[in-house]
Amino acid sequence: MLPVWVLSGDSARQPPLRAVRQGHLTAQKNQPTCGCLGGFDILSGCKQPGLPVYSQIMITSDDIKQLAARAGFDLCGICSAEPIPEAQAQFMAWLDKGYQAEMNWMAPEEQNLERRTDPSRLGIDAKSVIMLAVNYYQPNSDSVPVGYGQVSRYARGRDYHKVVENKIKKLLKLITTRFPDTTPEKFKWWVDYGPFMERAYAAKAGLGFLGKNGMLISRKFGSWLFLAEIVTTLELEPDDPNAVNHGRCAKCTKCIDACPTGAIVSDGVVDSSLCFSYWTVENPLHTSESVAAQNRHSLLGCDICQEVCPHNNKHRSILTAHDELMPDHGVGEFLSFEKILSMTTREEFLEMTAGTALTRPKLEGLQHTARIVKENRKT
């Protein structure tokens, strides 16, 4: 456990910190920079006369979690940056069986594999991993209207990459403002696109457990979570992964039984070549005929294995507090086949999708999927 050096004379707008070693701090007086009433405003970094600002403060895991909540994250957990051998082995077995389909960027070249499974290979002397989560749950309508296809919950609002990125940037600003000796060079971060086994580290950090559908499942939010990670040179106290009883799948096989294409081939293992999400997002122009024949609703992504999960019951399906992720900030829950198929230019496509995750399949990919779903809905 690292020592904590703290401020004395906390203001109402200053995060609570434990006073352990006073007398080892370097005080600096600052002139006012705004018209606030004084104190330390952690959101803006404004420092007013009357309260010293200290340049030598050891940050703790509790401090990180408090600031993560202020930055807008729903969950925050911390673990060591050491490799997770069982996760490495599972990932290698998944690749060996070709379950990555044509996602060649996951191919097991030695350098890529090392970076993906060992945080110390990510460009800094990593000591700890800060795992972060944002709840994105929103309910579905009772039915899909005639002439329309459905968009998965994660993609209905603003592009979640941008939403979560902004929260990470805010968190790092809070950290480096509140703790001046903690510089930006001590951190590297990603949101669902870096070479990182985020679900395994999220479980190690105590945010949840890995379900049979391969998703991280949290006691509070179920599996409706966007994950992000900050790798840091700071040595932070890790969380106990078993401190919270998130539950287990036990004998339940509802997700496996509900998948229309049999994509969940064993506990926690998904064959991408059988998954709607893969074909509608990553490779929409070359959809497998057997998979295409089963797609009656999904224009982008698929929520079936999450919708049937008992852990996503009404008590854990908590409406997201992040307005940007709601349908009225993006493309919405449904899209008209007529509108999609009538588009002829990239400009028309971007007018509808810019700033959302629906840009990923491009116009041609979205139209290809729309034709499949439209044809299947006739039967």
Catalytic residues, by residue number, are 192
Determine the Cα–Cα distance for residues 104 and 96; give it in Å rounded to an integer: 13
**CA end-to-end span of the chain, whole Å?**
63
Report how far apart, in Å, the C-alpha atoms of 13 and of each of 52, 63, 179, 226, 366 are.
Answer: 14, 14, 16, 29, 48
Determine the Cα–Cα distance for residues 46 and 94; give it in Å rounded to an integer: 50
Query: Do residues 80 and 239 make contact, with C-beta atoms less than 8 angstroms apart?
Result: no
- On the 0-12 / 13-18 / 19+ scale of CB atoms within 10 A, 143 is exposed
Q: Which of 137, 169, 135 lies closest to 67 in space, CA to CA?
A: 169
Determine the Cα–Cα distance for residues 335 and 81; give it in Å rounded to an integer: 42
Determine the Cα–Cα distance for residues 50 and 31; give it in Å rounded to an integer: 10
Tokens representing 199? Answer: 């679900």
Query: Do residues 128 and 236 make contact, with C-beta atoms less than 8 angstroms apart?
Result: yes
Determine the Cα–Cα distance for residues 260 and 117; give it in Å rounded to an integer: 31
Tokens representing 347? Answer: 């400009």
**Angle between the 61-71 and 160-178 helix axes, to the nearest 10 degrees?**
130
